[in-house]
Amino acid sequence: MHINQDILESAIDHLSDPGYFIWDDFISKEEVGKLVSIADEGNQSGDFKKAGIGKQALFQLDKSVRGDYINWLDRENQNESVHHFLNKIEFLKSTLNETCYLGLKDFETHFAIYPENTFYKKHVDRFQQNAHRVISFVLYLNQNWQNDHGGELAIYFNDKTEIVQPLAGRLLLFRSELEHEVLMAYKKRYSITGWMLDKDMSLTFLP
Ligand code: OGA
Ligand code: NI
């Protein structure tokens, strides 16, 4: 697996301060193309579900908060490009554990599609119902993204705002307690979003 050591070190530094890191060309444009096709196929077969807020009893669908559709990924997924991405995230997770002692045990991740004119209002990814999310990651899959397509991610920290364009192949990493927001996407927006967790979720699925 090819991971650039200098960028990796920079990512570790930036995750401790200011708490986020933008990693361009985390995966190649060719891989991006394959992942977009997988997302499109899944979408056409009805595998994507309207995303909600909260979990189980507290789960709500609210278009005024978020407008995306999601499809969870797992390691059973046989697709080579998906595997490749999951392996890279797994490696990143291990490295972060060795260097930052974050106690990361697992990760969960899904494709997300924001149809035209949708957004995700300001929120944090770590809260009562999602207490185990430590590091959020988003791999952007938007080829030929233009400024007027919108859909940027705004991260808020220390009274500052960073605006991140959702460019193909870019991985954004940030601490899950940071406030952030997906600005209005004027064009269909693709990503793979996920969270590194301080709990082993596979245990949750035991009978
Ligand atoms: C999320 C989220 C950011 C993005 O799904 O919780 O904040 O840029 N996504 O897609
Ligand atoms: Ni979020």
Atom index in ligand 1 nearest the CA of residue 68 equals 5
pLDDT, position 65: 85
Compute the distance from residue 123 Cα to the ligand 2 centre, in Å.
6
What is the distance between the alpha carbons of residues 31 and 116, in angstroms, rounded to a whole number?
Answer: 24
What is the distance between the alpha carbons of residues 189 and 121, in angstroms, rounded to a whole number?
Answer: 15
What is the distance between the alpha carbons of residues 135 and 115, in angstroms, rounded to a whole number?
Answer: 26
* In a domain? residue 42: yes
| Mutation to probe ligand 1, out of 20, 153, 172, 188 (largest number of atoms < 8 A from CB) | 153
**What end-to-end distance do the CA atoms of the chain give, in Å?**
35
Atom index in ligand 1 nearest the CA of residue 123 equals 7
* In a domain? residue 122: yes
pLDDT, position 77: 80
Taking the complete model, does pTM exceed 0.75, yes or no?
yes
What type of residue sits at position 203? Answer: L
pLDDT, position 3: 87
Atom index in ligand 1 nearest the CA of residue 180 equals 7
* In a domain? residue 135: yes
Backbone angles phi, psi at 176, to 5 degrees: -65, -15
Q: How many domains in the chain?
A: 1
Q: Return the sign of the alpha-carbon dihedral for residues 54, 60, 63, 64.
A: negative
What is the distance between the alpha carbons of residues 64 and 80, in angstroms, rounded to a whole number?
Answer: 36
Give the residue numbers spanning the domain of 172.
5-53+77-197
* In a domain? residue 203: no
Compute the distance from residue 73 Cα to the ligand 1 centre, in Å.
16
- What CATH number does residue 87 fall under? 2.60.120.620
Compute the distance from residue 164 Cα to the ligand 1 centre, in Å.
11
- Which ligand places an atom closest to the C-alpha of 191? 1
Contact 72, 109 (CB under 8 A): yes
* In a domain? residue 116: yes
| Mutation to probe ligand 1, out of 48, 109, 125, 188 (largest number of atoms < 8 A from CB) | 125
Q: Whose CA is nearest to atom 8 of ligand 1?
A: 153
Contact 8, 77 (CB under 8 A): no
* In a domain? residue 117: yes
Atom index in ligand 1 nearest the CA of residue 51 equals 5
Tens-of-pLDDT digits for all 207 residues of the chain?
A: 778 999 999 999 999 999 999 999 999 999 999 999 999 999 999 999 998 766 555 555 666 789 999 999 987 887 999 999 999 999 999 999 999 889 999 999 999 999 999 999 999 999 887 899 999 999 999 999 999 999 999 999 989 999 999 999 999 999 999 999 999 999 999 999 999 999 998 766 555
* In a domain? residue 202: no
Compute the distance from residue 79 Cα to the ligand 1 centre, in Å.
23
* In a domain? residue 63: no
pLDDT, position 206: 53
